[in-house]
Amino acid sequence: MGCFIVLMKYGGERLFLQITGGMHVIFSELKEGSISLRYGENPHEKAWVYGEPAFQLLHEGRRISYNNLLDADAAWAVAQHLKDIAPFGAVALKHQTPCGVAVADTPEEAVRKAIDADAESAYGGILAVNFPFTLSVAKSYKKYLEVIVAPEFTEEALAYLRKKKVRLIVPSRYDAFVGKPAFGALVVSERILPPLEFQLQVGKPISDDVVMDMKLAYVAVEGAKSNAIVIVKNSVTVGIGTGQPSRKRSAWIATTLAGDKAHGAVAASDAFFPFPDGLEILAEAGVSVVVAPLGSKRDNEVLKRAEELGITFYSASSRVFRH
């Protein structure tokens, strides 16, 4: 979302990362920006923003916090990636992890689907969209949200939303970098969504609608914390298993959340299946299509098991870990 680093405690030499037009430059002196954060990751901790985030804060119903800012940036990244799939895409997110991701034929439907995908988790979360936020969109949902991120807000939408305790953010660009302090240094990585082009490995070719679900699942799983499994059906996520050291456990969480909606659905994995067990959990829940990178020494075993289970398996070009 911009050239800035959000810090809580940072000892030793202080560094400021500036990213402009794909180039990054390190400065030895940090300058505190104009944004004052409510508190750090927890209320008893302080937080600071160094540099000027590349966005307009159109409304601050309550002072923005450290978590708000990082969540808004994470949601904006997913919303930007949705542009590769459809003109109307939305993501509801909390703790830098998607609650629901959807594309639809109208902006209102995209927002409703993203929030309703996991309405309980979306409460008090972040909403990011890849389209102008109109009054009609603002009236299309009822859930309490902490932050809304959009490329623009109409004047009518602003007048309506300014009556609420919500922060409204309009980013000026998207910078495809992520970074974190580590051992007194600043570690920075590019964040690049691989081409949404998948190769059929097992099974028969799928319909265009299912291809859309497969692309959506891969965008959503790229935005989830590793290890991640995401299940999609009818252009919306129905189960997101995320943040687990075990891929099998992420598959179990995703299928448990999806329930009956997993039948005939698409699942995406952010990395290869090291064993067939995660695939077996998806198949038992009724998932019919799986997309994942290859690269395991047991790829042949996994693909053979997919064929035995009647799963159509597509390979993705790259792993999409998120930490």
Separation CA 223–CA 218 (nearest Å)? 9
How far, rounded to the nearest angstrom, does the alpha carbon of residue 273 sit from its chain's CA centroid? 21
Q: How far apart are CA 236 and CA 117, in angstroms?
A: 7
Residue 24 clears pLDDT 90, i.e. is over it: no
Residues forming CATH 3.40.140.20 domain(s) in the chain: 5-171, 199-316
Structure tokens, 265: 């659905």
CB atoms within 10 A of CB 221: 33
pLDDT of res. 23: 47
Split at pLDDT 50, 70, 90, the class of 192 is: confident
pLDDT of residue 5: 53
Give the model's pLDDT for residue 2.
47
Instruction: Write down the pLDDT at residue 182.
Output: 83
pLDDT band at 27 (very low <50, low <70, confident <90, very high): very low
Angle at 129 between CA 78 and CA 64, to 5 degrees: 85
Look at domain 199-316 and name its CATH class: alpha beta
- Helix, strand, coil % (nearest 5) of the chain? 30, 30, 40
Q: Which residues of 268-280 are buried (b: 16+ CB within 10 A; e: fewer)?
A: bbbbbbbebebbb
Give pLDDT, residue 184.
Answer: 74
Residue 232 to residue 289: CA distance in whole angstroms: 10
DSSP E strand stretches across the chain = 5-7, 16-20, 23-27, 48-50, 55-60, 89-94, 97-103, 125-129, 145-149, 167-171, 177-182, 185-190, 199-202, 229-233, 236-241, 266-269, 289-293, 312-316
Residue 259 pLDDT > 70: yes
We find that the CATH architecture of domain 5-171 is 3-Layer(aba) Sandwich (3.40)
The whole-number average pLDDT for the span 135-154 is 97
- Per DSSP, the three-state class of 318 is coil
What integer best gives the mean pLDDT of the chain? 90
Q: Which residue has the higher pLDDT, 182 or 228?
A: 228
Q: Examine the pLDDT at 188 and tell me if it is beyond 90.
A: no
User: What is the model's pLDDT at position 53?
Assistant: 81
What's residue 1's pLDDT?
A: 56
279 vs 271: CA distance, rounded Å: 12
Taking the complete model, does pTM exceed 0.75, yes or no?
yes
